Amino acid sequence: MGFGARRVLRFLLLVLLLPVPGAGGAGAAALPLVVNTWAFRKATETAWYTLQSGGSELDAVERGCAQCEIDQCDGSVGFGGSPDEHGETTLDAMIMDGDTMEVGAVADLRRIKNAIGVARKVIQHTKHTLLVGESASLFAESMGFPCEDLTTQNSLSIYLKWLYQSCQPNYWKNVIPDASKSCGPYKQAKQLNSEEWINSQKRINIHNHDTIGMIVIGGSGHVAVGTSTNGAVHKIQGRVGDSPIAGAGAYADSTSGGAAATGDGDIMMRFLPSYQAVEYMRTGTDPTTACQKVISRIQKYVPYFFGAVICANTTGSYGAACNKVPGFTQFHFMVYSPLLNQPSEFQDTV
């Protein structure tokens, strides 16, 4: 489908899919719209005011997520948080244009604070989609991003405390010495123990995966999404979660809507929840129900996972859903639209 045809189709959807008040429990419809995971208010404000000052939807996503990188939201976004098992903080980010379907992403980014900015440069200055590791950092430096230490006293303290606790918890399994009692170094065990991993899934750290995922829909229905995170704390070096993966961390299609996920990325990325939610909305499913359906699908395989999804369609309706587990029974997210006079915090109550 050509670019012009996509715009025509989007216009028809805006006309034909006018929201029914109260349908499916979705949020009231109005454009433009900013929705993001968690109670990251300044990120919401930054994205909204970027739109109001004439910036594009991609500009709004980039600056909104960058605000969280600066603020080190919950210690799980930006520098100085979530040290890996060697004490280093690395960043993942992704941005997607729902008109052109272009994606820019970086993973395992080192020494660069503005991960979402680097992801945008991947779209603007390369024919690629995802750059990783040291090479991503070198690309960022070539684009003019300053090289900076991502370690802080806080992240160093987290790392040292973890070492003192015999490196507990960690992400190893089926290794020797016993990863539940030792820091390693590890070698593969001769026997594989499936019960070890099943039991570990029941020990959920609900403050370990607070990615910012953001959906921005402009007044004409153009959809853009983005994510930024420093990943899972104490992760094995080289680990990449769902956040920089299109369809997993977030997904945008201006003929349908946008979605973003947060939570245990190692689990959620296997199910492409953001892509699936957008496809549900394409068939007319309201955003709240679309979010619920993707969460339910994951639950069938991994009942104890920690995760949530936000969804918004091109009419401006929005919703969210989470997997309710002990310690996590409500998921909070932010919304800004013409129907609200300020960024407003909502929660999944279904």
Pull the structure tokens for residue 13.
Answer: 């959807």
**Structure tokens of 101?**
């379907």
Yes or no: say if 299 and 306 are a contact pair by the CB < 8 Å rule: no
Whether 265 has a binding-site annotation, put simply, is yes
**242 annotated among ligand-binding-site residues:** yes
Which of 16-35 are b and which e, b meaning 16 or more Cβ less than 10 Å from the residue's Cβ? ebebeeeebbbbebbbbbbb
Q: Any binding-site annotation on 239?
A: yes
Please give the structure tokens belonging to residue 286.
Answer: 């309201």
To the nearest 10 degrees (0 to 180), the angle between helices 287-301 and 273-282 is: 140
Q: How far apart are CA 39 and CA 331, in angstroms?
A: 9
Distance, first Cα to last Cα, the chain: 37
In the structure encoding, which two tokens stand for residue 176, read together?
């020797």
Sign of CA dihedral 333, 256, 305, 236: negative
DSSP 146: P
262 is in an annotated binding site: yes
Annotated binding residue at 264?
Answer: yes
> In this structure, how many other beta carbons lie within 10 angstroms of the beta carbon of residue 9?
14
216 is in an annotated binding site: no
Please identify which of the residues 44, 211, 229, 288 carries the catalytic annotation: 211
Task: Judge whether 319 is annotated as a binding position.
Answer: no
d(CA 252, CA 305): 24
Containing H/E element for 83? none
Residues forming a β-bridge with 35:
215, 335
Assigned token pair, 274: 């953001």
How many Cα neighbours within 13 Å face the side chain of 143?
A: 20
φ/ψ region of 347 (left if φ > 0, alpha if ψ in -120 to 50, else beta) reads beta
Q: Which two tokens stand for residue 128?
A: 């690629």
Tell me: is residue 263 an annotated ligand-binding position: yes
Instruction: Judge whether 44 counts as a catalytic residue.
Output: no
Q: Which residues are annotated as a binding site for substrate?
A: 239-242, 262-265
Active-site residue list: 211
Q: Which residues are annotated as a binding site?
A: 239-242, 262-265
